Amino acid sequence: MPIPSPTVRQRQLGTRLRELRLERNLTVENVAKQLMCSPSQISRIETATRRATLRDVRDLAVLYDVSPSTAADLMDLAKSARELGWWDAYDDLKLDPYIGLEQEANSITCFSMFFVPALLQTEDYARAIIKDVVPQIDPIVHEQRVEARLHRQQLFDREKPPNYRALLDEAVLRRPVGGPTVMAAQLEKIVQLNNDSHAAVQLIPFGAGLRGVADSNFVLLEFDAAQLHPVVFVEVLTTNLLQERDGEIARYREAIECLEESALTPKDTVEWINEMQKFYASNE
């Protein structure tokens, strides 16, 4: 059984603290005044953008007058939220809190217009695409990013792996990242993951257009935990965005429905990929 992600525990803690505050009809300003801190500090704890200290949680539990068992649960969450995830060993990933959320998602749906998603990449493809995106990357950081990317894929080896779906623009598989040999192996891996029921991949052919999609890539993460809402992650060159408002999630669900309508079936996608794999193999 995987170790609970501290990122998820931090978000669960923030959600529970917000619910307790609202149940008592207190504003962020009310709480901040009582604890002699800034309203932004309380807000950041509730939105999980700031890691709560044990003292923060103790003081909030007293203020909200919770039961001893609830206080103990909150403290346990706070302690586990302050533990380190395996990804904290890599200084340059710049994907916190995304990786922590990815590790506990029970459903992952992604769309990509330019490159094979990280969880589907072979080692050689990962090495090539990282170098293509950041040509001047430090060699040590380069290898760390490749290593971390492969580590993330271990979630497919779990007893209960996430339900993973990938919607890929045709350009993703036609763009020869790393050359024909790398691409032939990459397409073979995608087919194997599909055959092993680890991933359901659907190709969006050029002729279908891109109805309803504004971002070049995004990932919708959904969870079993009732206290953790779905989130959408969008990775761009200079920053990464986490979207989690109900309206934002609904908009991305609509985009996924549009993309699915435009995409080939998983079976037809595998047939298309097999033909493309033969093309790359013949050009090695």
Cα angle: 21, vertex 27, 30; to 5 degrees: 100
Q: What is the pTM of this model?
A: 0.79
What is the 8-class DSSP label of residue 264?
A: P
**DSSP SS3 for 204:** strand
Q: Which residue has the higher pLDDT, 82 or 74?
A: 74
Q: Which residue has the higher pLDDT, 198 or 235?
A: 198
Whether residue 170 is predicted with pLDDT greater than 50 in this model: the reply is: yes
Mean pLDDT in residue range 179-187: 96
* CATH, domain range 87-282: 3.30.870
The per-residue pLDDT for 1 is: 41
The per-residue pLDDT for 80 is: 80
Q: Which amino acid is at 136?
A: Q
**DSSP SS3 for 4:** coil
**Whole-number average pLDDT of the chain:** 88
Rounded to the nearest angstrom, the gap between the alpha carbon of residue 122 and the centroid of all alpha carbons in its chain is: 18
Residue partners of 31: CB distance under 8 A and separation at least 6: 21, 39, 42, 60, 63
Domain 6-83 has CATH 3.40.50.1580: no
> What length is written for the chain?
284
Q: Identify the band that residue 247 occupies on the pLDDT scale cut at 50, 70 and 90.
A: very high
Q: Identify the band that residue 67 occupies on the pLDDT scale cut at 50, 70 and 90.
A: very high
Domain limits, the chain: 6-83, 87-282
**Model pLDDT for residues 205-229, shown as the tens digit of each residue:** 998 876 667 788 999 999 886 667 8
Q: Which residue has the higher pLDDT, 182 or 84?
A: 182
> Could you check whether 6-83 and 87-282 share the same CATH topology?
no
Rounded to the nearest angstrom, the gap between the alpha carbon of residue 77 and the centroid of all alpha carbons in its chain is: 21
